[in-house]
């Protein structure tokens, strides 16, 4: 009896089709963000939103930054003929880096976003 290990098949598929990483960076992140809005909406209706707001802010912030920077990086790597495994590892590293960035700078980013949104509201009212 052998151990069923599907990771090797996943790695071979990524290596054979590098465009999957580029497609994920272009369309996968926005679809993931849209998929996460349904649980956020349900949690908002239940009343658990204030408790989970920091978690969702960190997750959405890192996903948005990764989407923008990651797509540009993956396009550059795709056209310079970098292997699919390296592209996947670089994309994962970009995401992990931005997760840690948003965790450690959560308060500063939150105040910055609040100030910008208030200034936009004030300009709209005037």
pLDDT tens-digit series, residues 65-87: 999 999 999 999 999 999 999 99
pLDDT at 57: 85
Report pTM. Answer: 0.81
Phi, psi (degrees; rounded to nearest 5) at 39:
-60, -35
Give the mean pLDDT of 43-52: 85
Sign of the torsion formed by the C-alpha atoms of 51, 52, 54 and 55: positive
pLDDT at 51: 85
pLDDT at 11: 84
Closest CA to 36 of 6, 56, 52: 56
Answer whether residue 1 shows pLDDT above 80.
no
């Amino acid at each position: 009896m052998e151990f069923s290990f599907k990771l090797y098949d996943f790695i071979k598929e990524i290596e054979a089709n590098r465009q999957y990483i580029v497609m994920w960076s272009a369309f996968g992140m926005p679809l993931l963000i849209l998929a996460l809005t349904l649980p956020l909406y349900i949690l908002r209706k239940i009343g658990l939103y204030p408790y989970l707001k920091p978690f969702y802010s960190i997750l959405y912030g890192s996903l948005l930054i990764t989407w923008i920077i990651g797509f540009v990086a993956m396009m550059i790597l795709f056209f310079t003929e970098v292997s699919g495994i390296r592209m996947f590892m670089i994309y994962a590293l970009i995401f992990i880096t931005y997760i840690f960035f948003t965790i450690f700078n959560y308060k500063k980013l939150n105040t910055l976003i609040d100030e910008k949104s208030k200034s936009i509201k004030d300009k709209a009212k005037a």
